[in-house]
């Protein structure tokens, strides 16, 4: 463990808002490490371990993995990052926290480290736009990059532009699982935004525009909030 200060930022919004897409675009520009709990779980699922079997019970149904397990997986990953990259300037959390208990755990963990949240970026997209985005989403099996059959099509069908990996449709991007996940978002995740609004760290971005326009807007809003 290092004593260096790490910027903690959060990117939040409903499923399909473009968190993964935007995080991939802005994190390198701000020297942040993109940490997505969903990606951590997908890696665990691939490992075919006992932990993978436990995670799968929730994941495939679009249900949340229990908080205790999620927090353990997330902080183990952040600590590993800090050891591997002593110069790490910050992390951009994507997919965490998703409920009040996780938000409280994060506050507690940061307070213990003498750290706090620099900014929370909310990507705002109307609900009726989200299903179209999610049922057309394609994800790279090697690097995790995200595409869309129509809105952000890869240059070669089925192949990742970034690494040449194979693209697949996520097992939970079915209309049923999407409905369930969106329900959980509006019921459990959206209410925690008040907490960040009160702290004065919430930045709301209109996500219902072209991918590049949204990215520029996020960069502009975050540059002054990230200290390197």
The answer to the question of residue 144 lying near ligand ADP (CB under 6 A) is no
In this structure, are residues 61 and 3 in contact, taking their beta carbons and an 8 Å threshold? no
For 158, list phi and psi in degrees, rounded to 5: 80, 0
Instruction: Find the binder of ligand ADP among 30, 205, 214, 218 (CB under 6 A).
Output: 214
Which partner from the list Zn ion, ligand ADP, none does 16 bind, CB cut-off 5 to 8 Å by kind?
A: ligand ADP
Residues 120-159: x where in contact with Zn ion by CB under 5 A, - otherwise, as a string: --------------------x-xx-x--------------
Size of the site for Zn ion (CB under 5 A): 8
Distance CA 77, CA 34 (A): 11
Q: Which DSSP category does 65 fall into? A: P
The answer to the question of residue 221 lying near ligand ADP (CB under 6 A) is no
The piece of 45-53, 108-116, 146-154, 218-226 that touches ligand ADP (CB under 6 A) is: 146-154
Instruction: Find the binder of ligand ADP among 17, 27, 167, 218 (CB under 6 A).
Output: 17
Q: What angle do CA 133, 142, 154 make, to 5 degrees?
A: 45
- Short-list 181, 226, 227, CA closest to 13: 181
Distance CA 18, CA 159 (A): 20
The piece of 46-54, 78-86, 190-198, 210-218 that touches ligand ADP (CB under 6 A) is: 210-218
Which partner from the list Zn ion, ligand ADP, none does 162 bind, CB cut-off 5 to 8 Å by kind?
A: Zn ion
The answer to the question of residue 70 lying near ligand ADP (CB under 6 A) is yes
Collect all residues with Cβ–Cβ distance below 8 Å to 177 and sequence separation of at least 6.
60, 61, 62, 171
Kindly calculate the radius of gyration of the chain based on its CA atoms and give it in whole angstroms: 17
The answer to the question of residue 20 lying near ligand ADP (CB under 6 A) is yes
The answer to the question of residue 58 lying near ligand ADP (CB under 6 A) is yes
């Amino acid at each position: 463990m290092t004593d260096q200060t790490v910027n903690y930022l959060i990117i939040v919004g409903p499923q399909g808002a473009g968190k993964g897409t935007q995080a991939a675009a802005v994190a390198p520009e701000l020297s942040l490490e993109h940490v997505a709990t969903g990606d951590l779980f997908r890696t665990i699922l691939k490992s075919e371990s006992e932990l993978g079997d436990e995670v799968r019970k929730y994941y495939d149904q679009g249900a949340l993995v229990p908080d205790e397990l999620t927090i353990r997986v997330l902080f183990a990953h952040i600590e590993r990052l800090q050891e591997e990259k002593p110069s790490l300037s910050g992390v951009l959390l994507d997919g965490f926290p998703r409920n009040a208990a996780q938000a409280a755990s994060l506050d507690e963990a940061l307070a213990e480290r003498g750290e706090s949240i620099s900014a929370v970026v909310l990507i705002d997209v109307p609900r009726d736009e989200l299903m179209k985005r999610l049922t057309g989403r394609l994800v790279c099996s090697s690097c995790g990059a995200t595409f869309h059959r129509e809105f952000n099509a890869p240059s070669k069908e089925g192949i990742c532009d970034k690494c040449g990996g194979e693209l697949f449709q996520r097992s939970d991007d079915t209309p049923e699982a999407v409905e369930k996940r969106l329900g959980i978002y509006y019921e459990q995740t959206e209410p925690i935004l008040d907490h960040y609004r009160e702290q004065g760290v919430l930045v709301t971005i209109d996500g219902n525009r072209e991918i590049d326009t949204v990215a520029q807007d996020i960069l502009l809003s975050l540059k002054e909030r990230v200290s390197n």
